[in-house]
């Protein structure tokens, strides 16, 4: 079947620290992979995506590389800011029917 | 702004009641998805509609139902409400074509409180 596993939170970092949020997946076929971010009181927003193996998605200083050999799509940022405090969801999409599968979300708090 | 609209933003009702949540997808998007987000269950996929037809079902209770209308807006009906139905309900839409456009875009959500 299709599923996404994210590292458990919550994660608390100091400003300018390095961030890694782990995400692994199982999928039938060749999925597309996504990171969504949910700021407090808001809906989910697409942060970045990658549609094939070895693709790197990037946005707002965040990066994630689609690793087929390790079935992973870890989210990284070199220097986090207080404004990055949010919940981050890893997700995959299978092409048949365009169904999405979301991880449980990882809460990030960045302290000044 | 994702282009997906949801109404109402907040809803407070009593146990046993019925409510309807409304979603308008982005212009041109054919698929609509409904999700429930609660503190203990995380983000749960409920149901997907594509161009008026049900396409996929997730963890949707029998007390809940949805439909997508010819103008592509969708409604989620929740009946015989229980305290545990209190949650954020999100709608998302997508073009639903394999390729670079397969992203889901989320609305701001409807916060339902059942008292």
B contact set with A (CB within 8 A):
2, 4, 31, 33, 42-43, 45, 48, 50, 55-56, 90, 92, 94, 96-100, 102-109
Least trusted range by pLDDT, from A21-30, A93-102, B9-18, B63-72:
A93-102
- Write the residue in B4, B31, B100 that is nearest to A98 by C-beta: B31
pLDDT at A98 over 70: no
Strand partners, A50: A33
Average pLDDT over every residue of A41-55: 91
pLDDT at A9 over 80: yes
Instruction: Report CA-CA distances (Å) from B86 to A101, A111, B9, B74.
Output: 22, 31, 14, 20
Please indicate whether, in this complex, the C-beta atoms of A45 and B90 are within 8 angstroms of each other.
no
Q: Token match 């609660």: residue? A: B38
Strand partners, B94: B31
Average pLDDT over every residue of B44-62: 90
Minimal CA–CA distance to A35: which of A78, A80, A83, A72?
A72
B32 interaction partners in chain A (CB closer than 8 Å): none
């Amino acid at each position: 079947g299709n599923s996404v596993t994210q590292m458990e939170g919550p994660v608390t970092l100091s400003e300018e620290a390095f961030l890694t949020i782990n995400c692994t997946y199982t999928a039938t076929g060749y999925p597309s992979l996504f990171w969504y971010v949910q700021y407090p009181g808001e809906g989910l927003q697409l942060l970045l995506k990658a549609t094939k193996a070895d693709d790197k998605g990037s946005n707002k200083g965040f990066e994630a590389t689609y690793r087929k050999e390790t079935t992973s799509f870890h989210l990284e940022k070199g220097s986090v800011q207080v404004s990055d405090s949010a919940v981050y969801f890893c997700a995959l999409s299978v092409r048949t029917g365009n169904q999405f599968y979301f991880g449980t979300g990882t809460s990030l708090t960045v302290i000044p | 702004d994702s282009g997906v609209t949801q109404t109402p933003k907040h809803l407070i009702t009593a146990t046993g009641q019925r409510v309807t949540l409304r979603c308008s997808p982005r212009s041109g998007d054919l698929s609509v998805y409904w999700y429930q987000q609660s503190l203990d269950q995380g983000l749960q996929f409920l149901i997907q509609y594509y161009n008026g037809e049900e396409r996929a079902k997730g963890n949707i209770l029998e007390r809940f139902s949805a439909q997508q209308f010819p103008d592509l807006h969708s409604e989620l009906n929740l009946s015989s409400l229980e305290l545990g139905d209190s949650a954020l309900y999100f709608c998302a839409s997508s073009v639903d074509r394999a390729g670079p456009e397969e992203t889901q875009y989320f609305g701001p959500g409807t916060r339902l409180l059942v008292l």
